[in-house]
Structure 1
Amino acid sequence: MSATTVHSVTTVPSVTMSPTTPTTLIPAPPHHPRPRGGDDAWTELIEAVRESGQYTTRSEAERVTRIVLSALGGHVIGDERVDLARALPEEAARVVAAQIPVTRRLTAAEFVESVAARIEGATPATARWDVSSVLSVLPDLVGDDLVTRVLAQLPPGYALLFGRADLCPTA
């Protein structure tokens, strides 16, 4: 006994658009970098920070990365926080997501000082180097669009820490 498959075809009437016919464009979904998981992605991040900051050891770069991402994690909220965690390697995402959102936004200088307080023997100058060494590798990792959205949440002055020109005067 053989079975017969019947395919039905539906025709759609054609529509002719004139130059005056209004059209509605549906925006493309926002670009979300692919999540980067596993130990390899974490190692790549640490190596990028090690090179950026010219750290002599991987462990020093990892320590600084954890401290800076931990400090940043409290300042990024909402969709940007979720998207940042998705775009980062799993270990980095855990560091960011584990932070409780701050109640008061720090200026960029205060942010650097808060990082200096977390690093034994750090000065504001060395902490600024550490912060920039970590944050300046993020655009290549998570995408410029997401970094732009994160910067929009932060007070003026943070762009320089991410390796971008800061065209807005700081308060």
Structure 2
Amino acid sequence: MTLRREAFLDQVRERGEYESRQEAERASRVVLALLGAHLVGEVRAQLAARLPEAFALILLNPMHSAEPLSPERFVRATAAWIEGATAQTAAWDVGAVLSTVADAAGDDLLGQILLQLPAGYDLLFGSTRPT
């Protein structure tokens, strides 16, 4: 089932403790663009189908990444794309967005997503189970 845009942003806003939906949207756009660069094929398409349309399009038309980023580099890349962000605030942004994505994906799809990512991403998605 696809999440409505407002519901998705409200979850990100609550988890990220953002003051506005605009802050939640900015973080969501950056994190999903970076995530999309790491996912391929059916897994990316299945995840996109569970996201609001505007965010699905970002996931399906990602920034290009020459190589998969480690979780630490993913957070640093997020910081570089969000004006005024630090590694600490970017980690917060990534966690707020990816934990919302994990809920939308469900356990089975999340497991497939984690198989396409370098080790350690389970923590960014808020999962504590080993990958």
Question: What letter is aligned with 1:127?
Answer: A
Q: How far 1:140 sits from its partner (Å)? A: 1.9
Q: How far 1:145 sits from its partner (Å)? A: 0.9
How many pairs were matched up? Answer: 131
Per-residue CA deviation, residues 108-136 of structure 1 (Å, 9 max, x unaligned), is 00010000000111111110000000001
Q: Identify which of 9, 20, 25 aligns with 1:57.
A: 20
Aligned to 1:79: 42
Shift in alpha-carbon separation, 1:166–1:106, aligned structure 2, 3 A: farther
Contact 1:157-1:166 at 8 Å conserved across structures: no
Q: RCO higher in 1 or 2 (8 Å CA, sep ≥ 6)? A: 2
1:100 and 1:141 map into 2 onto residues whose CA distance is 22
Q: How far 1:53 sits from its partner (Å)? A: 0.5
Aligned to 1:109: 72
TM-score, length basis structure 2: 0.93
Unaligned runs of 5+ in 1: 1-33
Per-residue CA deviation, residues 45-80 of structure 1 (Å, 9 max, x unaligned), is 000000011101111111111111111111111111
Moved over 2 A (4+): 100-103
Contact 2:34-2:63 at 8 Å conserved across structures: no
Matched, 1:127 2:74: no
2:63 and 2:77 map into 1 onto residues whose CA distance is 15
2:68 and 2:61 map into 1 onto residues whose CA distance is 18
The structure with the larger Rg is 1
1:99 and 1:138 map into 2 onto residues whose CA distance is 16
Superposition pairs of residues 1-171 of structure 1, within 5 angstroms: 34=1, 36=2, 41-165=4-128, 167=130
What is the CA RMSD across the aligned residues, in angstroms?
Answer: 1.5
1:141 and 1:163 map into 2 onto residues whose CA distance is 13
TM-score, length basis structure 1: 0.72
Contact 2:33-2:63 at 8 Å conserved across structures: no
1:88 and 1:62 map into 2 onto residues whose CA distance is 13
1:150 and 1:91 map into 2 onto residues whose CA distance is 20
Higher helix share: 2
